[in-house]
Chain A
Amino acid sequence: MNFFDRFAVPNPSITIYASMIAIALTVIAIIAGLTYFKKWQYVWSEWLTTVDHKRIGIMYLISALIMLFRGGADAIMMRAQTAVPDNTLLGAKEYNEIFTTHGVVMIIFMAMAFIMALMNFAIPLQIGARDVAFPRLNALSYWLYFFGAMLFNISFVIGGSPDSGWSSYFPLAGTDFSQSVGTNYYMLALQISGLGTLLTGINFITTILKMRAPGMTLMKMPMFVWSALVTNFIIVFAFPVLTVALAMGTMDRLFGTNFFTTENGGMDMLWANLFWVWGHPEVYILILPAFGIYSEIISTFARRNLYGYKSMVISMVAISLLSFLVWVHHFFTMGQGALVNSIFSVTTMVIAVPTGIKIFNWLFTLRKGKIEFTVPMLYTLGFIPIFTIGGVTGVMLAMASADYQYHNTMFLVAHFHLVIIPGVVFAMIAGLTYWWPKMFGFMLNERIGKWAFWFIAIGVCVTFFPMFISGLNGQARRMYTYSESTGFGIWNMISFVGALGLLVGFILIVYNIYYSTRYSPRNIPGDPWDARSLEWATPTPVPEYNFAVIPHVDSSEAFWDYKKKGYQLFRDPVQSIHMPNNSGLPIIIGAGFFVWGFAFVFGIWPVVILSTLFIFGCLAYRSLEKDHGHYIPVSDIEIDEQGGSVQ
């Protein structure tokens, strides 16, 4: 084989070539644009090398939005293909690649990044800290995620996309049935970005446990901080399982081992088990921060303290523990026997209890509240009923014996989209709108935002409700087409129409960002929503060091009680502030991992060895580097604070 043959796409089509041209043009446009406007210096020193948690959060946000549209394009293609029976828009092979990348991109590179974005931006501000515990490690986390995502996304133009589903079950994902390098991309891209996620987990647990403002005991933390703490504990214990599973999968594919094969003692079910031991907690890694955001938004816009603070915390801890005990429900039909299935049925149904407690707590918070129907609040109010429908159908799926009827049908697809979209995507858009003024210094337009909300909320229902029916009628998921006599046509057509509604909604969000950037008034106050937690006690835009004086906290609604009850937040005199220096090392190490991953995918071993040495060399360089950060003198701080708007 010619060396360059391996980079060819196995089944090229016109869309692939168009994508190649589009990617090339985008890269050229970015490079030319930065050169023409002389922004290289600015981009490098202010963004690419930054260790500021707020800027890292914004970079995560941009990446997540791009990935949302990448995954969304996949979704529209799937709905278009299945909109009518016997459609020939996409072939079976292309359809496999598209549903695989849709799942991976949306879960790993969109939802995770969106959560990281909001955690990075809000958590240090909410606990009254100046940065995270390990700012440079935080930058490394972002760049590992970024380059992992890039590695995954070049697969469809170089070498071929993965096509064995986002769960990548063996033996289907083994070399016998998946011969292209696509699944190698899956294994290595997830490995790299997973490492970044693990480092974030360590970073945020340390930050939340050790860097809270004086007086903020654990039970006085804002609910989003609690949700982030619990989530990061799940990350630390769940992601190593994925690391091991991916390493074994990589070895099976590239070194010919027999972990998941069906011969020589290999065990394909081991992959399914390991994948879901990570995969189910992963679901809660996504949903718990969303719950935290909803708690913040509900108490802000109902103008009431969160109902049942303690029970909220206990429920989240219970969910996090139970999340590790339910993984078998993803494969009830794969031969465990009645006893095992029954146990996992029960643990799965038990999770509905703490989740239900949280739903009722939100409802009780709303009761007698002076509800203000802002965009973040609309998403929150939309979330409650739609998520409940998704959740209750989840309990139906949890009944092992009944699950044999609708396992792997569109019913399942409807269920998990109706929990993930209102659960995670709504929360992310709500959180984005909520924290937007703190991030960028202006508000998003409410009118366009509300239009977008109604398109998205109705779009979700129209897209996924019909799948319950077609699923119960027997339409299997992941089938690229079906015959007219099945009668699935009408339901899929309705889904397609709903998907177009979603598309309009997301385009409206982008238009809103554009419109508000141009026309929204600047010079807004530091606390435009009349909110309750510490991030709103900072001036807008937030200075590099967040707080000129570290606040003292006396209650769980620190900023609210400061405004309404006259509690004092800032009691100490201004002192010089120690801040970490920017560093180019995180992006360089990230790039090293990209080269490493790419060479590994194609088995170019000399490059793998060189890039491994390069990565370790960077670590050694970092260890020997003398970098004690810098101090911001008092004079500079007071100049900044004159623009502050809180007092």
Chain B
Amino acid sequence: MKIDQTLPLEYSTEQNRLNILGFWIFLGAEIALFGTLFASYFTLVNRTGSGPTAAEIFEIMPVIIETVLLLISSFTIGLGIHAMRLGRKRAMLIFFGSTLLLGLSFLAVEIYDFIVYIHEGATLQTSGFTAILFTLLGTHGAHIIFGLFWGLLIMYQIIKNGLTPETTNKAFIFSLYWHFLDVIWIFIFSFVFLKGMM
């Protein structure tokens, strides 16, 4: 394996560079996926049938907490990558660990939110609106759950193998994924929740 010392470790081999480009293209596909979900949401948002409307079930507080948690987690993973580039393994692990904890807390609040909706009579089966609401939020949430396990696996590999071209490549790609989920959440926050409560 040829290692190019002039580049950061995660870019240092040919395969690493391919992995990163490949992942960017995958994120392009993810944009198309969430784009379709958003388009479907806008189509179905007012089709509530006999079920509750968006304004009736949304609450601002949990959503703001979720937003803050996820934004901070995006910041901490950025710090984690910064520490990784400085070669500071311990600091990086701490930042990655905090990211995953923040992600877990986000998930807890989101599940709480779901339970509230269901108690207010908005289940998956209630109407076209609730179906797409749960699907859009659920797809994002499922990505977060997947990210939690993925992040743990990467932390384990860094503890075991140290900062190698392989592990840093994986960590960097994971950080792209996590930032992407944050961006999607910002759209959900603005166009689902804020717009829905106006």
Contact = CB atoms under 8 A, between A and B. Distances in A.
Contact of B128 (A133, A236, A265): A265
Contacts of B170: 623
Contacts of A628: 1
B36 A240 contact: yes
Contact of B22 (A206, A259, A267): A206
A259 B129 CA distance: 8
Interface in A241-261: 241, 243-245, 247-248, 251, 255-259, 261
Contact of B149 (A251, A261, A616): A616
A202 B124 contact: no
29 contacts: A133-B18, A133-B22, A198-B29, A201-B25, A202-B25, A206-B25, A210-B18, A238-B32, A240-B30, A240-B35, A240-B36, A241-B33, A243-B33, A244-B37, A248-B131, A258-B131, A263-B49, A264-B50, A264-B126, A265-B47, A265-B48, A265-B49, A266-B47, A266-B131, A267-B43, A267-B44, A267-B128, A270-B44, A628-B1
Contacts of B28: 236-237
A134 interface: yes
A172 interface: no
B131 A259 contact: yes
Interface string B133-169: 0010000000000000100010001000000000000
Given A210-B17, A247-B135, A240 B33 contact: yes
B47 A244 contact: no
Contacts of A267: 43-44, 47, 128
A261 B44 CA distance: 12
Contacts of B30: 240
B135 A251 contact: yes
Interface in B178-197: none
Contacts of B33: 240-241, 243-244
A271 to B, nearest CB: 10
B125 to A, nearest CB: 5
A241 B48 CA distance: 23
A577 to B, nearest CB: 13
A352 interface: no
A1 interface: no
Contact of A209 (B21, B35, B36, B127): B21
Given A210-B17, A237-B28, A270-B43, A251 B131 contact: yes
A261 B132 CA distance: 13
A274 B39 CA distance: 10
A410 B25 CA distance: 40
A624 B131 contact: no
Contacts of B22: 133-134, 202-203, 206
A205 interface: yes
Contacts of A547: none
B29 A201 contact: yes
B98 interface: no
A257 B40 CA distance: 14
A87 to B, nearest CB: 42
Interface in B34-60: 35-37, 40, 43-44, 47-51
B26 A202 contact: yes
A42 B31 CA distance: 42
B27 to A, nearest CB: 10
Contacts of B128: 258-259, 261, 264-267
Interface string A200-225: 01110110011100000000000000
Contacts of B19: 134
Nearest to B46: A265
Contact of B135 (A203, A237, A239, A248): A248
A339 interface: no
A620 interface: yes
Contacts of B149: 616, 620
B126 A259 contact: no
Given A241-B32, A256-B124, A265-B48, 19 more contacts: A134-B18, A201-B29, A202-B22, A202-B29, A203-B22, A206-B18, A237-B28, A240-B30, A240-B33, A244-B33, A244-B40, A251-B131, A257-B124, A257-B125, A258-B126, A264-B127, A265-B47, A266-B127, A624-B157
